[in-house]
Amino acid sequence: MDDYQKIELSDYVRSGEGGTAVSYTHKTRNTLAKLYNPGFEADRAKAEYHTARTVFEMGLPTPEPLRLVTDGERYGAEYELVPGKRSFTRIISEEPERLEEISLTFAGWAKKLHATPVAPGQLRSYKEALTRFYQEKKLVTETFKQRALAFLETVPDTPTCLHGDLQIGNIITDGERTLWIDVGEFSHGTPEWDLSIMWIMGQRMSEERARTLFHITPEQMKAHWNYFLPAYLGTSDPRILGEYTQRLVPYYAVKVPYVYDMAYHCALPEDAFRRIEQFLEQAVPKE
C-alpha cells in the first residue's frame, strides 16, 4: 500500500512480542517497529498509527509515532525508541520489593489519564465502538447481544481519555520521562472500560500468561490490583471497594468479545464465552 514504507528486518533486532504483534529495535537508530501478526489487515495498523499520532499531538506523554511500515507481509508502524526504558511490569519483575510503589504510581497516572478531557471528534467513543460491534457482528448469541446492547444504553459516554488496554505493561519510564505505549485503542468514555480488564488480570491470569506477557507472577498481578484500586478510588473501605469491583463485571463481560475478535478475528471459545455469559447474566438479567 502506498502509505507504507518497506523496511528490511536485517536492520532490526527482534525485541518483544505481545498478543497481536512483534516489535523490532533498529540496530543504529533509536526507533522501534511494531508489526502486527500475519492476518491483520493493513487498515488496522493504519488506524492504530493515526490514533497514536492524535494522542501524541494532544500532548499526552507517549513516544512519537514516526511512519507506517511493512516487511512485505506484515503491517505496522515505527515509533520513537526511548533508550534505557523499562515497563512498570519489568521494574516489578526485576525489583519485586518496589511492587507497592509502582502500583501506587500507576494509580496516579491512571487517574490523571481518566481526568484528561477529549475535544469533540478527537478520539472515538468506546461506547459507540462496542455498540457497532454488537450491531454488526454475529459472534455472540442473540440473548447475549441484547443484554450487551441494553447495558450499553445505560453507560455514560464520558468525554475523557481511555487507554483501551490499560495495564502496567503499557507504561514505560527511563527514570526521567514516563510514557504511555500501545495507544492505538485510545478512546473516550467511562473509566470502567479500562479498569474491568485490569481487574480480571489480577484475578484469573494463568502462570504462563503472566510470565510470558508481563514477566511477573499471578500473585504479583493480584497484589498490584489490591494496591492499585484503593489508591485509584481514594478509599480503603472494603464495602466501597467491593461495590466498585461488582460494578466492573458487566463492563468486562461486554468488552471481552470485542477484544478477542480484534486480536484473533473470531468468536470466543465456547467455554470462555459461557463464563462471560454468566457474568453478564448476573449483572444484566433478561427482561
DSSP one-letter string for 155-176: S---SBEE-SS-STTSEEE-SS
Q: Answer for the pair 253, 283: CB distance below 8 angstroms, yes or no.
A: yes
pLDDT confidence bin for 40, thresholds 50/70/90: confident
**Dihedral sign for Cα atoms in the order 65, 55, 258, 110:** positive
pLDDT confidence bin for 68, thresholds 50/70/90: very high
pLDDT confidence bin for 286, thresholds 50/70/90: low
- Domain 86-283 in CATH 3.90.1200? The answer is yes
Measured from the Cβ of residue 163, the count of other Cβ atoms closer than 10 Å reads 25
Rg (CA), the chain: 19
Q: Residue 197 — left, alpha, or beta (φ > 0 → left; ψ -120 to 50 → alpha)? A: alpha
Nearest by Cα to 220 from 102, 106, 96: 96
Q: What average pLDDT score do residues 209-214 get? A: 82
Look-up: residue for cell 525508541?
A: 81
- Report pLDDT digits (tens) over 255-279: 999 999 988 889 999 999 999 999 8
Q: What average pLDDT score do residues 192-207 get? A: 91
Does residue 287 carry a pLDDT above 80? Answer: no
Helix axes 126-136, 238-264, angle to 10 degrees: 50
3 state SS for 89-121:
HHHHHHCHHHHHHHHHHHHHHHHHHHCCECCCC
Instruction: Tell me if domain 5-80 and domain 86-283 are identical in fold.
Output: no
Look-up: residue for cell 473501605?
A: 237
Pairwise pLDDT comparison (270 vs 44), residue with the higher score: 270
pLDDT confidence bin for 233, thresholds 50/70/90: very high
Look-up: residue for cell 509502582?
A: 102
Q: What is the pTM of this model?
A: 0.92
- Domain 5-80 in CATH 1.10.3720.10? The answer is no
Rounded to an integer, what is the distance from CA 155 to the centroid of its chain? 19
Nearest by Cα to 287 from 128, 154, 174, 109: 154
> Domain ranges in the chain?
5-80, 86-283
- Report pLDDT digits (tens) over 163-198: 999 999 999 999 999 999 999 999 999 999 999 999
